[in-house]
Amino acid sequence: MKCLILAAGYATRLYPLTENFPKPLLEVGGKSILDHLIEDIDRSGMIDEYIVISNGKFACHFEEWAHGKIRVVNDNTFTNETRLGAVRDIKFAIDSLGIDEELLVIAGDNLLDFSLCSFLDYYKEKKSSCVMRFYESDDQKLLKCGVLTVDQSDLVTDMTEKSPTPATHWVCPPFYIYTKEDARRIGEALEDGCGYDAPGSLVAWLCKKSDVYAMEMPGKRYDIGNLESYNRVKEEYKGIH
């Protein structure tokens, strides 16, 4: 299995900190956000290569940082206004490297207080594409999220991105596992009008064509959206690691 790490955004809300430096390489608890993620996932023994999808502005930073079985793909965009968007970035990486296997796709700017190895175990059990879900009680936050509808077996029956009338309180964070067969359908999804900016748009399209299961998130995700939240996360994370 390959792990695709979405890291081609420009994190404009974190300026000036990220004006000339990528958000996933910001340090928390003595190491970069990406190092936290990769060290955790690597314990599963299921990933043979990590592929970081960067924009042209920050690719040099990722290339300087990359080590071991990490490869950097440059999508050759240079501004927030001309970015490809997450789904098109996934397709760009697949096409550039000729990838044809199972994919763990994650956003590169997330910190967790649990191990993603449990998510990989869930995928092994379900043998279908999988996402994660957590309960969001704040109605205002729901409006900015991908929202899932699931049945009693965890099967995703619907997903909407940033709906003005969310159907449930189940939010889908940016962690996805796609079977080889489903990963092959990304081009079809885009041709069929799938949204391309939010990574969850692919799930919204795919859950109508294939079985996608949603594992309840067993812990907390630390959101780093602005300078205030970054400083808060650095303090909170000290108590965990």
- The predicted pLDDT at position 84 comes to 92
Question: According to the model, what pLDDT value does residue 44 have?
Answer: 96
9-24 tens-digit pLDDT: 999 889 999 999 999 9
Gap between the Cα atoms of 233 and 241, Å rounded: 12
> In the chain, what are the domain boundaries?
2-238
- Find out whether 196 and 88 touch, Cβ atoms under 8 Å: yes
Q: What is the pLDDT of residue 240?
A: 55
Which pLDDT value is given to residue 235? 87
Question: Could you tell me the pLDDT band of residue 236, with boundaries at 50, 70 and 90?
Answer: confident
Q: Report residue 74 CA to chain centroid gap.
A: 17
Q: Which residues of 26-42 are buried (b: 16+ CB within 10 A; e: fewer)?
A: bebbeebbbbbbbeebe
Q: Give the right CATH number for 2-238 from 3.40.50.1470, 3.90.550.10, 1.10.10.10, 2.70.98.50.
A: 3.90.550.10
**111 bridge partner residues:** 222
Q: What digits encode the pLDDT tens for the residues 223-234?
A: 788 898 899 888
Per-residue pLDDT tens digits for 57-109: 999 999 999 999 999 999 999 998 899 999 999 999 999 999 999 999 999 99
What mean pLDDT comes out for the span 134-161? 94
Can you read off the two tokens belonging to residue 145?
């999220």
